[in-house]
Structure 1
Amino acid sequence: MRLFRTTRLAVTAGLAAVLALLTGPVPAQAAEPAWGLVASSCTPPAIAANRAVGIGLVEVEAYWDRYLPSGPGAVDTAYAADLRARVTACLDNGIQVVLGPGTQYPPAWVRGLPGAALVDQRGKSPVTGAIDVVYSAAARQAQDDYLRRLVADLPSARLDGFRVGTSTAGEIGFPGPNEAGDGFLQSWWAFGADAQQGTGLAAGTPVTPMPGWIPGQRTWNGRTVTPAMAQNWFLWYSRSLLYAIKGQVDTLRAAGYTRPVHVPSPGKGVLPADLTTATNALLGGAGDRDGSLGRGLFYVDQFPALAGNVAGPLVVDLTGVDDATAVSARALNPPQDRCAASDATTSVASGTPVQNWSNLRFARAQAARAGLAAVGENPGPPGPETGGTATSDPIAEQIRRSPGYARSCSLIGFFLAFESVLDDPASGVTRQDYVRAVTG
């Protein structure tokens, strides 16, 4: 499904139309991806600029702290009206919209709810502002109320997608390395009273199978901790994220939203061999290649579980298109950055050097194994608000290479990060550059 035709007229069908073509297992070669932008303002100038080059798909970000700034039910009607007007304006002008609800921006009053503070094994909380919507019933209920209000307040039946997540980036995952702010690299964010004792635990989420056990400890309640016990604890931890994602999706469905839900998923997650290394060391620090262990990201297990337990249609949003791992993977001989039709099988076969694959390639293979459609987005330029780093491709190179990665990995859509970059003369890139990359 081309977003850019040779005449540069915007198409009216978006990801939902593409998704409707994909029934059963994701095919090795899907239709042409839909091409879009991350974080569109949907203001009249942005709409005009996007329509002028044929951009017909955008992600629009809402902000929880602006929508409900002062308390439960205390909607800022001016902000809500502005958000509704901008989303509607894009839709009325033929631009499809995927909504990012902005649950990563919780209001101050939510932070004060019982159990809302994430707690690691040392009693620390994240300095990044992350809250506990995984285990805390009070925080989860506040979030659910916000999601229901968005569905009712926006033209949700016309949306092309609705994102859900648990992290400060709006993605699936717990906080990452050093988010406790003191240089400690591996926090496990499951040591509040809710997760450990069941006090104020979100409905349907299981309490820890080993209350009081801290990863790395060799004994628990007088018993020797085995690698199997450590693995069971990690699976409880990582699957806790799925209960939170399922809870959001269930809330959206109960509120009447029936269209695709997107789950932004960073990196490649824990590799099976690394999990073996980590659990053999009782989760004491070994085997954590990129911080995925503490984040609870294990796509080999999580994507099939999502596919089997979350009401569809469901789309995985892979946020590592042409990230730093693609740069290093393509430098190998042979290159390991592009997806192959056999990846879904070989990615979990013993001896496959998946540690050399790009994040996109491995994560896409896990989505394919689960029969899930996938979209993607690039990290954007280096900065605190992006996924770009000093070793990523420059933004112009990301624009040039990302369409090829999207096609090789059979993504049904790609979102370029960010609209504001294309509006910034200092960035050196424009919408025309994006069009040329897609159509050239």
Structure 2
Amino acid sequence: MRCLHSLLRPARLAVTACLAVALALIPSPVPAHAAEPAWGLVASSCTAPDIAANRAVGIGLVEVEAYWDRYLPGGPGAVNAAYVADLRARVTACLDNGIRVVLGPGTQYPPAWVRGLAGAGLVDQRGKNPTTGAIDTVFSAAVRGAQNDYLRRLVADLPSARLDGIRVGTSTAGEIGFPGPNEAGDGFLQSWWAYGADAQQGTGLAAGTPVTPMPGWIPGQRTWNGRTVTASMAQNWFLWYSRSLLFGIKGQVDALRAAGFSRPVHVPSPGKGVLPADLTTATAALLGGAGDRDGSLGRGLYYVDQFPALAGNVAGPLVVDLTGVDDATAVVARGLTPPQDRCASTDATASVAAGTPVQTWSNLRFARAQATRAGLAAVGENPGPPGAETGGTASSDPIAEQIRRSPAYARGCNLLAFFLAFEDVLDDPASGVTRQDYARAVTG
């Protein structure tokens, strides 16, 4: 698919025809699989006690988190040999005991020296940096180079040929996306994180990533370089912004492939992203704040476009990890008449048909439909306990209810695997849930 590059060329302002072609080139949907989803855990320690406990209840798949700041704490090439040896031993122990492993590389935990690299600080339209500590893995060539060096080391230092997959992301949660609402910390809800010199002027821009098509333009402004800004120009700018994330993802995948990793790459994807109707409303208002239903605009999440573009431009097997299984939107959607939380065989087509009330669908249902449209396999995970530093909120189901409901969502949405968040929740007596509870939920 050539549109990923031609659409983002700086001088290009017309987008509608290219987008139509891009969406017409979507691969055939992934065939329905008859197999039961694999049942796993997020953030496993792969220590001997947890391996034994997981095997005892039939858990055969885990995600293991690495930490960039522990791996290379002292600078480029300054490997912490003791940490690497421990990580390798734990991953190998799980594999040798028949437990499949997906590696989370932990690029959301950059070492201090990476924060000092050129262009490392994300900048929004008001010159603010995110208070969450997010760095610019999308536009900064220096950060991209350091990150890719780290990924290549992971492939070389760990039993990567035996892994079920490696995750990639751009956010502080390890997911695709820019920082979210009010992450500039100044009370202004909507930030657009593309105002560093790399994105605006091309200074230190990561190779292949296009500079903004409208240098200096700030969403909401009605003129640019003496021209009246139209809705189509605003849409083109947003598509440049959202597709910039894909260059960040593709850069990581390319580094993994160049290092010899041929197994699946997982892209954790939160929420449902911008809906087509949202984008119409938002661009008619020149991205001045209207139509931003849940902060997805500033995060740059537009799965209707991004999943097909990923499928057509990223090498090797790719899996989207939908992180909204039984999240707060599922609670609301299943309370409607009729309920809107369950995936249906017609969702891929219906989700982009005019008049379908997709705003009432759960995040999982809508995002799964976009993965199907793009021909991408999908796995999923729940948000975790409400109030935790996760996707769990006060509106989410309690963790025991998430455990009870998630297997049906995983089966009904044709997920290849479900990862329960988190292993340490099941190890904590105060949580009130155990591995046996998870096993009972899975077996029905």
Q: What's the secondary structure of 2:128's corresponding residue?
A: coil
2:424 aligned with 1:420:
yes
CA distance in 2, matches of 1:27, 1:383: 37
* Equivalences for residues 34-45 of structure 1 within 5 A: 34-45=38-49
The answer for the alignment partner of 1:300 in structure 2 is 304
Please report how far the alpha carbon of residue 31 of structure 1 lies from its aligned counterpart in structure 2 after TM superposition: 2.3
Map 1:28-107; keep pairs closer than 5 Å.
Answer: 28=32, 30-107=34-111
Which secondary structure does the structure 1 equivalent of 2:332 belong to?
helix
Look up the match of 1:385. 389
Mapped partners of 1:375, 1:77: distance in 2: 33
Q: Describe the SS at the equivalent of 2:391.
A: coil
1:327–1:392 Cα contact (<8 Å) kept: yes
Query: Which residue pairs with 1:339 in the alignment?
Result: 343
Shift of 1:181: 1.1
Within-5 A mapping of 1:18-417: 25-28=29-32, 30-417=34-421
Partner deviation per Cα, 1:247-299 (whole Å, 9 max, x = no partner): 10000000000000000000000000000000000000000000000000000
Would you say the 8 A contact 2:117–2:142 is kept in 1? yes
Extract structure 1 runs of 4+ deviating beyond 6 A: none
Counterpart contact for 2:28–2:373, Cα < 8 Å: no
State the SS of the aligned residue for 2:273.
coil
Aligned residues: 418
**Structure 1, unpaired ranges of 5+:** 1-22
1:185 to partner: Cα distance: 0.7
* 8 Å CA contact 2:371, 2:377 repeated in 1: yes
- Residue by residue over 1:338-370, the C-alpha shift from the partner in whole angstroms, topping out at 9 and shown as x without a partner, is 000000000000000000000000000000000
CA distance in 1, matches of 2:233, 2:347: 30
Identity of matched residues, %: 89
Q: Residue 26 of structure 1: CA displacement?
A: 1.5
Equivalent residue for 2:435, pick from 412, 418, 431: 431
Contact 2:28 2:374 in 1 (8 A): no
Give the superposed CA RMSD: 0.9
**Helix, strand or coil for the counterpart of 2:424?**
helix
Distance verdict in 2 for CA 1:209–1:196, change over 3 Å: same
State the Cα distance separating 1:29 from its structure 2 match.
Answer: 5.3
Conservation of the 8 A alpha-carbon contact between 2:383 and 2:421: yes
Task: Output the CA distance in 2 between the equivalents of 1:31 and 1:269.
Answer: 29
**TM-score normalized with structure 1 length:** 0.94
Partners of 2:172 and 2:239 in 1: how far apart?
A: 22
C-alpha distance in structure 1 between counterparts of 2:28 and 2:164, whole Å:
20
Are the equivalent residues in 2 in contact too, given 1:91–1:97 (CA < 8 A)? yes
For residue 14 of structure 1, what is the aligned residue in structure 2? none
TM-score by length of 2: 0.93
Pick which of 317-326 and 382-391 moved more.
382-391
CA distance in 2, matches of 1:180, 1:392: 26
Aligned residue identity for 2:43: A
Residue 30 of structure 1, CA deviation = 4.3
Partner of 2:20: none
- Secondary structure at 2:400's aligned position in 1? helix
Q: CA deviation at 1:27?
A: 2.7
List runs of 5+ in structure 2 lacking aligned partners: 1-26
| Superposed displacement of residue 91, structure 1 | 0.3
Tell me the alpha carbon deviations over residues 189-248 of structure 1, each in whole angstroms, 9 at most, x when there is no partner: 000000000000000000000000000000000000000000000000000000110110
Query: 1:127, 1:180 within 8 Å by CA — same for their partners in 2?
Result: yes
* Alignment partners' CA distance in 2, 1:30 and 1:255: 33
Mapped contact 1:30–1:412 kept (Cα < 8 A): no
